[in-house]
A = this chain, B = another copy of it.
Amino acid sequence: MSAPSPRTQQALRQRNLSLALRAVAAGGPLSRAAVAARIGMTRAGVAAVVDELLRAGLLVELGPGRPGTVGRPGSALALNDRGPCGLGAEIGVDHLAVCAVDLRGRIRARVAADAANRDRPPGPVLARLAGLIEQVTDEVRGEGLTPTGLTVAVPGLIARDESTVVRAPNLGWQGVDLGPLLPSAPPARVGNEANLGALAEQRLAGSAGPGGPAEPRGAGGGGEAATGTGPAGTGTGTSGTGTGADGTSGPGPGRHFLHVSAEIGIGAAVVMDGELLRGAHGFAGELGHVPVRPQGRPCVCGGRGCLEQYAGEEAVLRASGIDPGRARAEHPGPGGRIAMLSARAAGGDALVRAALREAGGALGVAIAGTVNVLDPEAVVLGGAHAGLAPWVVPAVERELGRRVADPARTVRLTVSALGAEGPLLGAALSVVDAVMEAPGTVAAG
Protein backbone atom coordinates (compact mmCIF):
# COMPACT_ATOMS: atom_id res chain seq x y z
CA MET A 1 0.00 0.00 0.00
CA SER A 2 1.44 3.35 -0.94
CA ALA A 3 1.01 6.64 0.84
CA PRO A 4 -0.92 9.37 -0.97
CA SER A 5 1.32 11.29 -3.35
CA PRO A 6 2.02 14.71 -1.93
CA ARG A 7 0.29 17.38 -3.97
CA THR A 8 2.95 20.04 -3.73
CA GLN A 9 2.64 23.60 -5.00
CA GLN A 10 5.21 22.75 -7.63
CA ALA A 11 3.19 19.75 -8.89
CA LEU A 12 0.02 21.82 -8.91
CA ARG A 13 1.67 24.56 -10.95
CA GLN A 14 3.00 22.01 -13.44
CA ARG A 15 -0.45 20.48 -13.80
CA ASN A 16 -2.14 23.80 -14.42
CA LEU A 17 0.47 24.76 -17.01
CA SER A 18 -0.09 21.41 -18.71
CA LEU A 19 -3.88 21.73 -18.67
CA ALA A 20 -3.81 25.23 -20.15
CA LEU A 21 -1.28 24.29 -22.81
CA ARG A 22 -3.29 21.24 -23.82
CA ALA A 23 -6.49 23.22 -23.96
CA VAL A 24 -4.91 25.55 -26.52
CA ALA A 25 -3.33 22.59 -28.36
CA ALA A 26 -6.69 20.87 -28.66
CA GLY A 27 -8.95 23.82 -29.36
CA GLY A 28 -6.79 26.86 -30.13
CA PRO A 29 -6.68 29.66 -30.92
CA LEU A 30 -8.50 30.38 -27.67
CA SER A 31 -9.06 33.42 -25.51
CA ARG A 32 -7.96 33.35 -21.87
CA ALA A 33 -11.64 33.14 -20.91
CA ALA A 34 -12.14 30.11 -23.13
CA VAL A 35 -9.09 28.40 -21.62
CA ALA A 36 -10.43 29.14 -18.13
CA ALA A 37 -13.82 27.66 -19.03
CA ARG A 38 -12.28 24.51 -20.54
CA ILE A 39 -10.03 23.64 -17.64
CA GLY A 40 -12.25 24.84 -14.82
CA MET A 41 -9.95 27.54 -13.42
CA THR A 42 -10.68 31.14 -12.51
CA ARG A 43 -9.78 33.77 -15.11
CA ALA A 44 -7.27 35.28 -12.70
CA GLY A 45 -5.61 31.92 -12.21
CA VAL A 46 -5.49 31.28 -15.94
CA ALA A 47 -3.97 34.70 -16.59
CA ALA A 48 -0.95 33.84 -14.44
CA VAL A 49 -0.57 30.41 -16.02
CA VAL A 50 -0.83 31.83 -19.54
CA ASP A 51 1.77 34.49 -18.74
CA GLU A 52 4.19 31.77 -17.78
CA LEU A 53 3.48 29.80 -20.97
CA LEU A 54 4.01 32.96 -23.03
CA ARG A 55 7.30 33.65 -21.26
CA ALA A 56 8.47 30.07 -21.93
CA GLY A 57 7.74 30.57 -25.61
CA LEU A 58 5.13 27.80 -25.68
CA LEU A 59 2.20 30.08 -26.51
CA VAL A 60 1.93 33.24 -28.58
CA GLU A 61 -0.68 35.94 -28.54
CA LEU A 62 -2.33 36.48 -31.89
CA GLY A 63 -4.04 39.78 -30.94
CA PRO A 64 -7.75 40.48 -30.91
CA GLY A 65 -8.11 41.54 -34.54
CA ARG A 66 -6.53 38.50 -36.17
CA PRO A 67 -8.33 37.49 -39.36
CA GLY A 68 -9.94 34.09 -39.17
CA THR A 69 -10.74 34.37 -35.50
CA VAL A 70 -13.85 36.50 -35.87
CA GLY A 71 -16.34 35.83 -33.17
CA ARG A 72 -13.68 35.08 -30.59
CA PRO A 73 -13.55 37.94 -28.14
CA GLY A 74 -10.32 38.81 -26.40
CA SER A 75 -6.77 38.25 -27.51
CA ALA A 76 -6.40 34.76 -28.98
CA LEU A 77 -3.72 32.39 -27.73
CA ALA A 78 -2.09 29.85 -30.00
CA LEU A 79 0.75 27.35 -29.83
CA ASN A 80 4.00 28.98 -30.80
CA ASP A 81 5.07 28.05 -34.34
CA ARG A 82 8.58 29.18 -33.46
CA GLY A 83 8.84 27.75 -30.00
CA PRO A 84 10.14 24.44 -28.65
CA CYS A 85 10.12 21.44 -30.95
CA GLY A 86 10.80 17.73 -30.66
CA LEU A 87 13.45 15.76 -32.54
CA GLY A 88 12.84 12.17 -33.59
CA ALA A 89 15.40 9.82 -35.06
CA GLU A 90 15.14 6.32 -36.43
CA ILE A 91 17.82 3.67 -36.73
CA GLY A 92 16.59 1.13 -39.28
CA VAL A 93 18.38 -1.91 -40.55
CA ASP A 94 18.98 -0.16 -43.85
CA HIS A 95 18.28 3.49 -43.23
CA LEU A 96 18.58 6.41 -40.87
CA ALA A 97 16.11 9.24 -40.54
CA VAL A 98 15.64 12.33 -38.40
CA CYS A 99 12.74 14.74 -38.18
CA ALA A 100 11.53 17.66 -36.09
CA VAL A 101 7.91 18.33 -35.15
CA ASP A 102 6.56 21.51 -33.62
CA LEU A 103 4.10 21.79 -30.74
CA ARG A 104 1.21 21.17 -33.11
CA GLY A 105 2.73 17.90 -34.20
CA ARG A 106 3.57 19.22 -37.64
CA ILE A 107 6.75 17.97 -39.31
CA ARG A 108 9.02 20.97 -39.82
CA ALA A 109 12.13 19.25 -41.11
CA ARG A 110 13.07 15.76 -42.16
CA VAL A 111 16.12 14.03 -43.56
CA ALA A 112 16.69 10.38 -44.39
CA ALA A 113 19.59 8.36 -45.72
CA ASP A 114 20.08 4.80 -46.87
CA ALA A 115 22.51 3.02 -44.60
CA ALA A 116 23.76 -0.56 -44.29
CA ASN A 117 23.36 -0.87 -40.53
CA ARG A 118 23.01 -4.63 -40.30
CA ASP A 119 25.79 -5.99 -38.09
CA ARG A 120 27.52 -2.62 -38.10
CA PRO A 121 28.81 -1.53 -34.68
CA PRO A 122 26.83 1.22 -32.94
CA GLY A 123 29.74 3.74 -32.99
CA PRO A 124 29.81 4.52 -36.72
CA VAL A 125 26.02 4.20 -37.03
CA LEU A 126 25.48 6.82 -34.35
CA ALA A 127 28.23 9.06 -35.72
CA ARG A 128 26.38 9.16 -39.03
CA LEU A 129 23.07 9.72 -37.25
CA ALA A 130 24.62 12.64 -35.34
CA GLY A 131 25.32 14.31 -38.67
CA LEU A 132 21.68 14.02 -39.70
CA ILE A 133 20.54 15.29 -36.31
CA GLU A 134 22.78 18.32 -36.73
CA GLN A 135 21.36 18.96 -40.19
CA VAL A 136 17.76 18.94 -38.92
CA THR A 137 18.68 21.01 -35.89
CA ASP A 138 20.28 23.69 -38.07
CA GLU A 139 17.26 23.72 -40.35
CA VAL A 140 14.69 24.22 -37.58
CA ARG A 141 16.83 26.70 -35.70
CA GLY A 142 16.77 28.74 -38.89
CA GLU A 143 13.00 28.81 -38.54
CA GLY A 144 13.24 29.97 -34.96
CA LEU A 145 12.46 26.60 -33.38
CA THR A 146 14.35 25.17 -30.39
CA PRO A 147 14.74 21.40 -30.00
CA THR A 148 13.96 20.43 -26.41
CA GLY A 149 14.58 16.72 -26.66
CA LEU A 150 15.49 13.82 -28.92
CA THR A 151 13.98 10.33 -29.05
CA VAL A 152 15.68 7.61 -31.07
CA ALA A 153 13.55 4.74 -32.39
CA VAL A 154 15.34 1.38 -32.53
CA PRO A 155 13.98 -1.97 -33.76
CA GLY A 156 14.77 -3.89 -30.61
CA LEU A 157 14.24 -4.36 -26.90
CA ILE A 158 15.07 -1.25 -24.91
CA ALA A 159 15.86 -1.36 -21.19
CA ARG A 160 13.87 0.65 -18.70
CA ASP A 161 16.73 3.19 -18.54
CA GLU A 162 15.59 4.33 -22.03
CA SER A 163 19.21 4.30 -23.09
CA THR A 164 20.37 0.68 -23.44
CA VAL A 165 19.53 -1.55 -26.40
CA VAL A 166 19.12 -4.94 -24.75
CA ARG A 167 18.80 -6.80 -28.02
CA ALA A 168 18.26 -5.68 -31.60
CA PRO A 169 18.85 -8.91 -33.53
CA ASN A 170 18.43 -7.42 -37.00
CA LEU A 171 21.07 -4.80 -36.22
CA GLY A 172 23.20 -7.36 -34.41
CA TRP A 173 23.35 -5.21 -31.27
CA GLN A 174 23.13 -6.60 -27.77
CA GLY A 175 23.50 -4.83 -24.43
CA VAL A 176 24.69 -1.52 -25.92
CA ASP A 177 24.18 1.72 -24.05
CA LEU A 178 23.56 4.32 -26.75
CA GLY A 179 23.58 7.18 -24.24
CA PRO A 180 27.29 8.05 -24.53
CA LEU A 181 27.07 7.87 -28.34
CA LEU A 182 24.23 10.38 -28.67
CA PRO A 183 24.60 14.18 -28.85
CA SER A 184 24.93 15.71 -25.39
CA ALA A 185 22.12 18.20 -26.07
CA PRO A 186 19.17 18.23 -26.22
CA PRO A 187 18.40 15.43 -23.72
CA ALA A 188 18.07 12.13 -25.58
CA ARG A 189 16.33 8.84 -24.93
CA VAL A 190 15.95 5.59 -26.83
CA GLY A 191 12.61 3.90 -27.52
CA ASN A 192 11.24 0.81 -29.22
CA GLU A 193 10.13 1.54 -32.78
CA ALA A 194 6.83 -0.36 -32.53
CA ASN A 195 5.86 1.52 -29.38
CA LEU A 196 6.68 4.85 -30.98
CA GLY A 197 4.74 3.89 -34.11
CA ALA A 198 1.71 3.19 -31.93
CA LEU A 199 2.11 6.55 -30.23
CA ALA A 200 2.01 8.33 -33.59
CA GLU A 201 -1.06 6.32 -34.58
CA GLN A 202 -2.81 7.21 -31.35
CA ARG A 203 -2.00 10.91 -31.55
CA LEU A 204 -2.96 11.34 -35.17
CA ALA A 205 -6.20 9.44 -34.74
CA GLY A 206 -7.20 11.92 -32.07
CA SER A 207 -7.77 9.39 -29.34
CA ALA A 208 -5.04 10.83 -27.23
CA GLY A 209 -4.26 9.20 -23.95
CA PRO A 210 -3.21 11.21 -20.93
CA GLY A 211 0.06 12.26 -22.49
CA GLY A 212 -0.73 13.71 -25.82
CA PRO A 213 -1.17 16.84 -27.83
CA ALA A 214 -4.44 15.32 -29.00
CA GLU A 215 -4.22 16.13 -32.66
CA PRO A 216 -7.51 15.29 -34.32
CA ARG A 217 -8.02 12.73 -37.03
CA GLY A 218 -8.93 14.19 -40.36
CA ALA A 219 -7.63 17.24 -42.13
CA GLY A 220 -4.00 16.90 -43.11
CA GLY A 221 -3.75 13.51 -41.46
CA GLY A 222 -1.28 10.69 -41.52
CA GLY A 223 -0.87 10.21 -45.24
CA GLU A 224 0.63 13.61 -45.69
CA ALA A 225 2.79 13.42 -42.64
CA ALA A 226 4.50 10.45 -44.18
CA THR A 227 5.59 12.33 -47.26
CA GLY A 228 7.54 15.21 -45.85
CA THR A 229 6.87 18.59 -44.41
CA GLY A 230 3.09 18.70 -44.66
CA PRO A 231 0.99 19.06 -41.53
CA ALA A 232 0.63 15.87 -39.54
CA GLY A 233 -2.71 17.10 -38.34
CA THR A 234 -4.02 20.61 -37.95
CA GLY A 235 -4.68 22.34 -34.70
CA THR A 236 -8.41 22.65 -35.21
CA GLY A 237 -11.38 20.59 -34.15
CA THR A 238 -12.07 18.82 -30.92
CA SER A 239 -9.71 16.44 -29.26
CA GLY A 240 -10.26 12.93 -28.04
CA THR A 241 -12.96 10.61 -29.20
CA GLY A 242 -14.30 9.98 -25.73
CA THR A 243 -14.99 6.61 -24.27
CA GLY A 244 -18.34 4.89 -24.39
CA ALA A 245 -19.93 3.15 -21.47
CA ASP A 246 -18.53 -0.15 -22.68
CA GLY A 247 -15.00 1.18 -22.64
CA THR A 248 -14.72 1.38 -26.39
CA SER A 249 -14.50 4.50 -28.45
CA GLY A 250 -15.47 5.65 -31.89
CA PRO A 251 -13.06 6.32 -34.73
CA GLY A 252 -9.32 5.84 -34.48
CA PRO A 253 -7.65 2.87 -32.84
CA GLY A 254 -9.37 3.72 -29.57
CA ARG A 255 -8.20 3.11 -26.03
CA HIS A 256 -7.44 -0.59 -26.42
CA PHE A 257 -5.50 -1.53 -29.50
CA LEU A 258 -2.70 -3.62 -30.90
CA HIS A 259 -0.37 -1.85 -33.32
CA VAL A 260 1.56 -4.27 -35.48
CA SER A 261 4.70 -2.91 -36.98
CA ALA A 262 6.93 -4.61 -39.51
CA GLU A 263 10.19 -3.45 -40.94
CA ILE A 264 12.66 -6.29 -41.27
CA GLY A 265 11.39 -7.96 -38.13
CA ILE A 266 7.91 -7.79 -36.65
CA GLY A 267 7.04 -5.96 -33.47
CA ALA A 268 3.87 -4.74 -31.89
CA ALA A 269 2.71 -2.23 -29.34
CA VAL A 270 -0.12 -2.95 -26.96
CA VAL A 271 -2.19 0.02 -25.82
CA MET A 272 -4.71 -0.75 -23.09
CA ASP A 273 -6.88 1.87 -21.43
CA GLY A 274 -5.05 4.47 -23.46
CA GLU A 275 -1.69 3.51 -21.97
CA LEU A 276 1.20 1.76 -23.62
CA LEU A 277 1.76 -1.58 -21.96
CA ARG A 278 5.48 -1.97 -21.29
CA GLY A 279 5.71 -5.18 -19.28
CA ALA A 280 7.95 -6.07 -16.37
CA HIS A 281 11.22 -5.41 -18.21
CA GLY A 282 9.93 -3.02 -20.87
CA PHE A 283 9.94 -5.80 -23.49
CA ALA A 284 6.21 -6.18 -24.18
CA GLY A 285 5.12 -6.45 -27.80
CA GLU A 286 7.44 -9.12 -29.20
CA LEU A 287 4.74 -10.38 -31.59
CA GLY A 288 7.40 -11.56 -34.03
CA HIS A 289 8.27 -14.37 -31.64
CA VAL A 290 4.78 -15.69 -31.05
CA PRO A 291 4.81 -19.32 -32.21
CA VAL A 292 2.53 -19.78 -35.25
CA ARG A 293 3.91 -23.13 -36.46
CA PRO A 294 5.25 -24.55 -33.17
CA GLN A 295 7.20 -27.35 -34.86
CA GLY A 296 8.22 -25.15 -37.78
CA ARG A 297 11.31 -23.27 -38.90
CA PRO A 298 14.03 -22.48 -36.36
CA CYS A 299 14.25 -18.81 -35.46
CA VAL A 300 17.19 -16.58 -34.54
CA CYS A 301 15.65 -16.27 -31.07
CA GLY A 302 16.23 -19.95 -30.37
CA GLY A 303 12.58 -20.88 -30.74
CA ARG A 304 10.76 -22.57 -33.60
CA GLY A 305 7.99 -21.45 -35.89
CA CYS A 306 7.98 -17.82 -34.74
CA LEU A 307 5.78 -15.40 -36.69
CA GLU A 308 8.85 -13.58 -38.01
CA GLN A 309 9.89 -16.76 -39.84
CA TYR A 310 6.65 -16.64 -41.86
CA ALA A 311 5.73 -12.97 -42.15
CA GLY A 312 9.04 -11.12 -41.82
CA GLU A 313 10.64 -9.52 -44.86
CA GLU A 314 13.17 -12.26 -45.46
CA ALA A 315 10.54 -15.00 -45.20
CA VAL A 316 8.28 -13.26 -47.70
CA LEU A 317 11.15 -12.73 -50.12
CA ARG A 318 12.18 -16.38 -49.93
CA ALA A 319 8.61 -17.61 -50.36
CA SER A 320 8.39 -15.34 -53.40
CA GLY A 321 11.41 -17.11 -54.90
CA ILE A 322 13.60 -14.03 -54.42
CA ASP A 323 17.05 -14.14 -52.87
CA PRO A 324 16.98 -11.75 -49.90
CA GLY A 325 20.62 -10.65 -50.26
CA ARG A 326 20.19 -9.85 -53.91
CA ALA A 327 16.89 -8.07 -53.24
CA ARG A 328 18.57 -5.89 -50.65
CA ALA A 329 21.32 -5.00 -53.12
CA GLU A 330 18.94 -4.25 -55.97
CA HIS A 331 16.23 -2.51 -53.93
CA PRO A 332 18.07 -0.83 -51.09
CA GLY A 333 16.80 1.61 -48.53
CA PRO A 334 13.67 1.72 -46.47
CA GLY A 335 10.68 0.48 -48.39
CA GLY A 336 12.80 -0.72 -51.30
CA ARG A 337 11.80 -4.39 -51.13
CA ILE A 338 8.27 -3.50 -50.06
CA ALA A 339 7.82 -1.34 -53.16
CA MET A 340 9.21 -4.14 -55.32
CA LEU A 341 6.94 -6.78 -53.75
CA SER A 342 3.97 -4.46 -53.98
CA ALA A 343 4.65 -3.79 -57.67
CA ARG A 344 5.02 -7.49 -58.44
CA ALA A 345 1.82 -8.38 -56.56
CA ALA A 346 -0.05 -5.60 -58.34
CA GLY A 347 1.31 -6.94 -61.62
CA GLY A 348 -0.21 -10.34 -60.87
CA ASP A 349 2.89 -12.28 -59.79
CA ALA A 350 1.28 -15.46 -58.42
CA LEU A 351 4.29 -16.47 -56.34
CA VAL A 352 4.49 -13.11 -54.58
CA ARG A 353 0.76 -13.06 -54.02
CA ALA A 354 0.86 -16.53 -52.49
CA ALA A 355 3.77 -15.51 -50.27
CA LEU A 356 1.88 -12.47 -49.03
CA ARG A 357 -1.22 -14.60 -48.40
CA GLU A 358 0.86 -17.00 -46.35
CA ALA A 359 2.40 -14.11 -44.43
CA GLY A 360 -1.08 -12.74 -43.78
CA GLY A 361 -2.26 -16.14 -42.57
CA ALA A 362 0.63 -16.45 -40.13
CA LEU A 363 0.07 -12.90 -38.98
CA GLY A 364 -3.62 -13.67 -38.50
CA VAL A 365 -2.84 -16.67 -36.27
CA ALA A 366 -0.53 -14.61 -34.04
CA ILE A 367 -2.93 -11.68 -33.91
CA ALA A 368 -5.92 -13.93 -33.17
CA GLY A 369 -4.18 -15.47 -30.18
CA THR A 370 -3.20 -12.02 -28.94
CA VAL A 371 -6.73 -10.71 -29.44
CA ASN A 372 -8.12 -13.62 -27.42
CA VAL A 373 -5.77 -12.82 -24.55
CA LEU A 374 -5.97 -9.01 -24.66
CA ASP A 375 -9.41 -8.19 -26.07
CA PRO A 376 -8.46 -4.99 -27.93
CA GLU A 377 -11.09 -3.12 -29.91
CA ALA A 378 -8.81 -2.58 -32.89
CA VAL A 379 -5.74 -3.97 -34.59
CA VAL A 380 -3.72 -1.54 -36.69
CA LEU A 381 -1.37 -2.90 -39.32
CA GLY A 382 1.54 -0.50 -39.64
CA GLY A 383 5.03 -0.53 -41.07
CA ALA A 384 5.68 -2.63 -44.15
CA HIS A 385 2.35 -4.42 -43.84
CA ALA A 386 0.62 -1.14 -44.55
CA GLY A 387 2.28 -0.97 -47.96
CA LEU A 388 1.33 -4.56 -48.73
CA ALA A 389 -2.16 -4.35 -47.24
CA PRO A 390 -4.17 -5.31 -50.35
CA TRP A 391 -2.54 -8.74 -50.43
CA VAL A 392 -1.95 -9.32 -46.72
CA VAL A 393 -5.16 -8.06 -45.12
CA PRO A 394 -7.65 -10.59 -46.56
CA ALA A 395 -5.70 -13.50 -45.08
CA VAL A 396 -5.41 -11.75 -41.71
CA GLU A 397 -9.14 -11.10 -41.73
CA ARG A 398 -9.92 -14.71 -42.56
CA GLU A 399 -7.90 -15.99 -39.60
CA LEU A 400 -9.39 -13.43 -37.24
CA GLY A 401 -12.88 -14.33 -38.43
CA ARG A 402 -12.31 -18.03 -37.73
CA ARG A 403 -10.44 -17.69 -34.48
CA VAL A 404 -12.04 -14.73 -32.74
CA ALA A 405 -15.57 -15.81 -33.46
CA ASP A 406 -17.71 -14.11 -30.88
CA PRO A 407 -20.90 -12.25 -31.61
CA ALA A 408 -20.34 -9.97 -28.64
CA ARG A 409 -16.86 -8.95 -29.65
CA THR A 410 -15.90 -6.86 -32.63
CA VAL A 411 -12.30 -6.21 -33.53
CA ARG A 412 -11.66 -3.61 -36.17
CA LEU A 413 -8.71 -4.32 -38.43
CA THR A 414 -7.31 -1.13 -39.91
CA VAL A 415 -4.27 -0.21 -41.93
CA SER A 416 -2.05 2.58 -40.67
CA ALA A 417 -2.05 5.75 -42.75
CA LEU A 418 1.47 6.40 -41.47
CA GLY A 419 2.92 3.10 -42.59
CA ALA A 420 6.67 2.89 -42.20
CA GLU A 421 6.83 6.55 -41.17
CA GLY A 422 5.12 5.93 -37.80
CA PRO A 423 8.14 5.21 -35.57
CA LEU A 424 10.05 8.31 -36.71
CA LEU A 425 7.07 10.58 -36.27
CA GLY A 426 6.18 8.95 -32.95
CA ALA A 427 9.73 9.51 -31.70
CA ALA A 428 9.47 13.23 -32.33
CA LEU A 429 5.90 13.41 -30.98
CA SER A 430 7.03 11.74 -27.76
CA VAL A 431 9.24 14.78 -27.10
CA VAL A 432 6.31 17.12 -27.68
CA ASP A 433 4.25 14.93 -25.33
CA ALA A 434 6.85 15.44 -22.63
CA VAL A 435 6.64 19.21 -23.11
CA MET A 436 2.85 19.08 -22.89
CA GLU A 437 3.13 17.01 -19.72
CA ALA A 438 5.63 19.29 -17.98
CA PRO A 439 5.67 22.69 -19.70
CA GLY A 440 7.35 24.25 -16.66
CA THR A 441 10.60 22.49 -17.45
CA VAL A 442 10.98 24.26 -20.80
CA ALA A 443 13.17 27.36 -20.61
CA ALA A 444 12.36 30.34 -22.79
CA GLY A 445 13.87 29.80 -26.25
1/0 per residue A283-299: CB within 8 Å of B?
11111011111100000
Q: Which of B6, B23, B239, B254 is within 8 Å of A280, CB to CB?
A: B254
Closest CB in chain B relative to A354 CB, distance in Å: 17
Interface centre among A4, A292, A306, A373 (most CB of B within 10 A): A373
Q: Is residue A160 within 8 Å, beta carbon to beta carbon, of the partner chain?
A: yes
Assuming the contacts A280-B254, A303-B402, A373-B284, asked whether A214 and B1 have C-beta atoms less than 8 A apart, the reply is yes
Q: Which of B4, B268, B294, B303 is within 8 Å of A40, CB to CB?
A: B4
Q: Is residue A374 within 8 Å, beta carbon to beta carbon, of the partner chain?
A: yes
Closest B residue to A287 by beta carbon equals: B373
Assuming the contacts A167-B406, A289-B372, asked whether A281 and B365 have C-beta atoms less than 8 A apart, the reply is no
Q: Is residue A29 within 8 Å, beta carbon to beta carbon, of the partner chain?
A: no
Q: How many copies does the complex hold?
A: 2
Interface centre among A6, A255, A370 (most CB of B within 10 A): A370
Interface centre among A3, A240, A254 (most CB of B within 10 A): A3
Which of chain A's residues 385-421 have a Cβ closer than 8 Å to chain B? 402-406, 408-409
Closest CB in chain B relative to A255 CB, distance in Å: 7
Q: Give the interface size bracket for A toward B.
A: 35 or more
Enumerate chain B residues within 8 angstroms of A370, measured Cβ to Cβ: 369, 373
Closest B residue to A212 by beta carbon equals: B1
Q: Is residue A282 within 8 Å, beta carbon to beta carbon, of the partner chain?
A: yes
Q: Is residue A270 within 8 Å, beta carbon to beta carbon, of the partner chain?
A: yes
Assembly CA distance A390 to B398 (angstroms): 39
Contact A26 B1 (CB under 8 A): yes
Enumerate chain B residues within 8 angstroms of A255, measured Cβ to Cβ: 280
Assembly CA distance A290 to B281 (angstroms): 24
Assembly CA distance A373 to B366 (angstroms): 10
Q: Is residue A328 within 8 Å, beta carbon to beta carbon, of the partner chain?
A: no
Contact A279 B374 (CB under 8 A): yes
Q: Is residue A344 within 8 Å, beta carbon to beta carbon, of the partner chain?
A: no
Contact A291 B369 (CB under 8 A): yes
Assembly CA distance A187 to B153 (angstroms): 50
Assembly CA distance A256 to B281 (angstroms): 10
Which of chain A's residues 269-283 have a Cβ closer than 8 Å to chain B? 270, 272, 277-283
Q: Is residue A71 within 8 Å, beta carbon to beta carbon, of the partner chain?
A: no
Enumerate chain B residues within 8 angstroms of A19, measured Cβ to Cβ: 3-4
Contact A246 B281 (CB under 8 A): yes
Enumerate chain B residues within 8 angstroms of A293, measured Cβ to Cβ: 294
Q: Which of B15, B247, B402 is within 8 Å of A282, CB to CB?
A: B247
Q: Is residue A90 within 8 Å, beta carbon to beta carbon, of the partner chain?
A: no
Q: Is residue A377 within 8 Å, beta carbon to beta carbon, of the partner chain?
A: yes
Q: Which of B6, B283, B372 is within 8 Å of A290, CB to CB?
A: B372
Q: Is residue A166 within 8 Å, beta carbon to beta carbon, of the partner chain?
A: yes
**Apart from A4-B39, A160-B247, A254-B280, 12 more pairs, CB < 8 Å:** A1-B26, A1-B214, A1-B240, A2-B240, A6-B40, A166-B406, A247-B280, A272-B277, A283-B375, A293-B294, A301-B405, A301-B406
Residues of chain A at the chain B interface (Cβ within 8 Å): 1-4, 6, 15, 19, 22-23, 26, 38-40, 157, 159-160, 166-167, 175, 208, 214, 239-240, 245-248, 254-256, 268, 270, 272, 277-287, 289-294, 301-304, 306, 365-366, 368-370, 372-377, 402-406, 408-409
In the assembled complex, 17 residue pairs joining A and B whose CB atoms fall closer than 8 Å, in A order, are A1-B208, A3-B40, A175-B408, A246-B281, A247-B280, A247-B281, A248-B281, A254-B280, A256-B279, A270-B374, A280-B377, A283-B408, A283-B409, A290-B369, A290-B372, A302-B405, A303-B405
